Structure 1
Amino acid sequence: MTTRRSFLKATSAAATGIVFCGCGLLQSAHAQTGGGGGRTLPVSVGGKRVKTIDVHSHCNFKDVIPLLGEKEANAILVPPVNGAKNAFIDPVEARLKAMDAQAVDMEVLSINPFWYGKDRDLAAKIVKIQNEKLAELCAGKPDRFAAFASLTLQAPDLAVTELETAVKKQGLKGAAIGGVVNGVEFSDPKFNPVWAKAEELGVPLFIHPQGVPELGKRFAGNGWLANTIGNPLETTIALSHLIFEGTFDRHPRLKVIAAHGGGYLGSYADRSDHACLVGPAGCNPQIKLAKKPSEYLKQIYFDSLVFTPEAIRHLAAQVGPDQIVLGSDHPYIWQGHPVDHIFACDSLTDAQKAAILGETAATLFNVKA
C-alpha cells in the first residue's frame, strides 16, 4: 500500500539531479517515458520472440519545402519541438539506431497533414511527393519501415484515387488523416467515398489530431495546452462525431486507429450512452444507432501512448486489449521506451502483451509478425 509518507519519499528520491525546464521536470519526464533506459531488441514475451510495431511515428521530407512559403517551410524545418529535427530520417542509420534502442522492430511512418488548407493542385503535388518518398523509404528497408499515405482529404474524389494508388501500387499500408478538414467533421457525407475505399482495400486510417485552434485563447499560457489538452480533445471530438452521426454504422468494416489512446473517449465513454436519454433535444431522432455509443469503441483501435501501466490497464478494460497497438510519437520524445509500460502492466496476460506490442498491428498491416 502506498502511504503519503512513502509517496513523498519516492517523489523526493526521483527528484535528485532533476534538470528544470520551462514547464516542468524534464529529467522526471524522461524517466517516466523510459528516457533513462529500457528494453532493447530483440523483444520476447513469455519466451516467444515478438516483432514490435510502432504505429505512431513521424517523418517529414525536405523535397516538399520548395512548394511552401517561407514561414511554413521554416515551421517544418525548424519547429520548436524537441526531437522534430530527427523527423527527416537523415541518415536512415540514425533512425534505425534509435529504433533499436527503443526496442522497436518496425515503425509505421506518417506525416501530420499541413496541406488541408491549400488549393487542390498544390495539395496534390505535396501528397504525391510525400507518398513517393514514403514508398521509396519503405522499399529500401521493408523489414523496418511501413507507412501511412498522405491524402488530399479536402478533395475527397482525389483522396480516393491517392489511397488506391498508395495501397495497390506503392505498397503503403493505409492513410494518416487529421482530426477535421477545414472545419468539416469526418462524419460529413462528402467523405463517405474515402471511407468506402478504405473498407474496400481493407486498410486502416490513422487519426492524428492537429489541435483545436478555436480554443487558442483559452489554451494560452504555460503548459503547451494547445497540444497537451487540444490534441486529445480533437481526437475525442472526431471519434464522437463518427459514432453519433452513424458513420461507423454506414461503414462497419472501416478500420480506424486513434492516436494518443483515442484522446479522452476511452476514459469517459460511458457518459456518451446517457447523453440522448438526458438531453434528447441535443440529439437527432432520425439517427438510429445500431448499438450503444460506448460499444463502438470495440471496433476502433487505439495506440498505447497513454504513458503508464495503469492507463494501459484502464484503456484495455474499456476497449479490450485486442484493440490496442503500440505507439510512441517518435521522434518526438513523448515516450522514449514505448514497450516498457506494456510489460509493466500486470493486468495483461503474455498473449495480450504480445498482441499490443506487434501481433495486432501485423494483422492490420498484413506484415509478418
Structure 2
Amino acid sequence: MIRRQSLSPRMGTPEAAADELERSVGELRLRGALVNGTSNGRFLDHPSFGPVLARAEALDVPIYVHPSLPPRSVLDAYYDDLPGATSFLLAGPGFGWHAETALHVLRLVVAGVFERHPGLKIIVGHMGEGLATMIDRFDEVFGGFAAHNLTAGIGETIRSRVWVTTSGFFSAIPFQAALAAFGVDRLLFSVDYPFSSNRRGTDFLRSLPLADHEKKKIAHENADGLLRLSHPAARS
C-alpha cells in the first residue's frame, strides 16, 4: 500500500492559510507560497480556497503548485497492486505527480479561477509537468466548450499565468517543448536538489543552444522579476 503525506493544517483552514501567507510575506520576506497537491482531496479551484488565491493576488506573489501523491481512492484505482516499489514510482515521480499537477493547472483554467483572480501567478516544476506537449490540444478539444467561463483560450491563459521551472528535467526534448510552448521569458532554472544533481543541472543550463542573454533569463532574470528579487526592498 502506498502511504500519503498528511495534510498541512493551514490549507485545511483557508482563511488561516491566507493570513499565514500575508505574515510570511510581510514579516519573513518570503516571495510566495508552495502548495503540495490537493488538500483534503480538493484542488485549488474549489471555492473554499478563494481566500488563499485572493491574498496571493493582493500580495502579488506566486503560488508554486508542487506535486504530491493523489487521494487514496485514486491511488487504489490507478496505481496500487504493482510489484515492489513500482506502485509508488508510478504514482509519484515516474508519472502520477506530473499528471496530477498538470490536471491541477488545467482545472484552475477551466473553472474560471484566473478570471476571478486576474493577477494570480502560478509556478509549476519539472519542465511544465507535461503541459507543454498538451497545450495546443487543450484549445483544439475544448474549443468553445469552455468559452462561457473564459475571456481567453485555455492555451493563452496558461501561457500568461504560469511559469515553469526546469527542476529535475535535464534533457533536450522536454526543454524544447517547454521553450516552444511557454517562451524563454517563462522558464526558471531549478535543480530539485537533493533529488537531482546540482552539477547535472548547471551543466545542462550551460549546454543549452541559446544566446547568452536567453540563458541569463532562465538562470536568474526571470525569477528576479517574478519574485521581485531585484526590487530595492529585497536587498534591504
Instruction: Report the TM-score when normalising by structure 1.
Output: 0.55
Partner residue in 2 for 1:42: none
Task: Give the aligned residue type for 1:366.
Answer: R
1:331 aligns with 2:194: yes
Shift in Å, 1:336: 4.6
Task: Give the aligned residue type for 2:179.
Answer: A
For residues 256 and 264 of structure 1, what CA distance do their matches in structure 2 show?
Answer: 15
Instruction: Give yes or no for contact 1:173–1:203 (8 Å, CA) kept in 2.
Output: yes
Identify the match of residue 189 of structure 1 among 36, 47, 56: 47
Identify the match of residue 201 of structure 1 among 35, 59, 74: 59
5+ long unaligned stretches in structure 1: 1-74, 76-112, 124-151
1:270 aligns with 2:136: yes
Shift in Å, 1:262: 2.4
Mark the structure with the bigger radius of gyration.
1
Shift in Å, 1:325: 0.4
Task: Give the aligned residue type for 2:187.
Answer: I
Partner residue in 2 for 1:290: 151
1:355 aligns with 2:213: no
Partner residue in 2 for 1:38: none
- Deviation string 1:204-256 (CA, Å, 9 cap, x unpaired) is 11110102241345433465212110110111110010111111121121111
Task: Give the aligned residue type for 2:90.
Answer: L
Instruction: Give yes or no for contact 1:216–1:226 (8 Å, CA) kept in 2.
Output: no
Instruction: Give yes or no for contact 2:5–2:69 (8 Å, CA) kept in 1.
Output: no
Size of the aligned set, in residue pairs, is 219
For residues 229 and 334 of structure 1, what CA distance do their matches in structure 2 show?
Answer: 20
1:247 aligns with 2:113: yes
- Deviation string 1:285-332 (CA, Å, 9 cap, x unpaired) is 7x4311111112222001113221332122111011111101211112
- Deviation string 1:312-359 (CA, Å, 9 cap, x unpaired) is 12211101111110121111236653222222221x222111011111
Shift in Å, 1:284: 6.4
5+ long unaligned stretches in structure 2: 232-236
Cα distance change of structure 1 residues 216 and 353 upon mapping to structure 2, 3 Å threshold = farther
Q: Secondary structure of the residue that 2:42 maps to in structure 1?
A: coil
Task: Give the aligned residue type for 1:271.
Answer: R
Q: Percent identity?
A: 28
For residues 162 and 114 of structure 1, what CA distance do their matches in structure 2 show?
Answer: 21
Partner residue in 1 for 2:24: 166
Instruction: Report the TM-score when normalising by structure 2.
Output: 0.84
- CA RMSD in angstroms, aligned pairs only: 2.3
Name which structure has the greater RCO, CA cutoff 8 Å, separation 6+: 1
Q: Secondary structure of the residue that 1:183 maps to in structure 2?
A: coil
Shift in Å, 1:367: 1.9
Cα distance change of structure 1 residues 233 and 334 upon mapping to structure 2, 3 Å threshold = farther
